């Protein structure tokens, strides 16, 4: 693809999260208006996070707000041992547990750019909400895939049930907090040579 300066190529596997981030930002730049620098992309997908940083040995907190187009959910580490049948155990986790990362209270430790304790809170939810699971990790020798299955509701997911700190709408303002699953992307196979599949929910197939 010329627009990506050969970063993404037809027939060559790439990370779908990197591709989606590039695609959304590129479309936003091309579609934004000169009046307020907004675009249909940001109107549909952009939300806002409050980020609180606490550094070791420093009592002061850094509080900032930042926009997002996707929310990254951290999967629990896979089990190290096999079951009695000598098969790998495939763990499962509820979406509710993963979304606790954004309740404003749960602490996430990061090491880059330096060691810090982070707390995230969704302060504005977009009309269309995208999640991505951090499923692949690289070590010094090879690429690993986390096989954890995520259970999530298909219809009428009320985000306030998962993130109670989400602000309520003021009079005359539209705030999205209830969502239906429209599409998802899954990876099959080994980390290095697998493939991705896309599932899209059509109105004619709604239950």
Q: Percentage of residues in the chain with pLDDT exceeding 90?
A: 29
pTM exceeding the 0.85 threshold for the entire prediction: no
Q: CA nearest 124: which of 38, 46, 51?
A: 46
Backbone angles phi, psi at 2, to 5 degrees: -65, -35
Q: Are 124 and 104 in contact (CB under 8 A)?
A: no
pLDDT digits (tens, 9 = 90+) for 133-165: 888 888 777 888 888 999 988 888 888 887 776
Q: Partners of 54 in the beta sheet?
A: 61, 117
Domains of the chain: 12-205 (3.90.70.10)
pLDDT digits (tens, 9 = 90+) for 53-106: 998 777 788 999 999 999 999 998 877 665 555 466 788 999 989 999 998 899
């Amino acid at each position: 693809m010329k627009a990506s300066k050969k970063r993404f190529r037809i027939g060559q596997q790439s990370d779908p999260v990197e591709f989606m981030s590039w695609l959304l930002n590129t479309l936003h730049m091309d579609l934004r208006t000169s009046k307020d620098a907004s675009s249909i992309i940001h109107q549909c997908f952009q939300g806002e996070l409050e980020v609180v940083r606490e550094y070791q040995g420093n009592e002061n907190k850094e509080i900032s707000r930042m926009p997002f187009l996707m929310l990254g959910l951290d999967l629990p580490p896979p089990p190290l041992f096999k079951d009695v049948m000598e098969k790998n155990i495939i763990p499962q986790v509820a979406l509710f547990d993963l979304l606790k990362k954004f309740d404003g209270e749960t602490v996430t430790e990061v090491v880059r750019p330096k060691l810090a304790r982070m707390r995230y809170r969704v302060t504005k939810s977009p009309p269309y909400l995208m999640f991505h699971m951090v499923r692949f990790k690289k070590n010094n020798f090879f690429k690993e895939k986390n096989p954890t299955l995520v259970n999530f509701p298909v219809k009428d997911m009320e985000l306030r049930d998962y993130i109670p700190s989400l602000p309520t709408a003021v009079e005359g303002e539209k705030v999205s907090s209830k969502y239906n699953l429209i599409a998802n992307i899954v990876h099959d196979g080994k980390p290095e040579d697998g493939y991705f599949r896309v599932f899209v929910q059509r109105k004619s197939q709604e239950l």
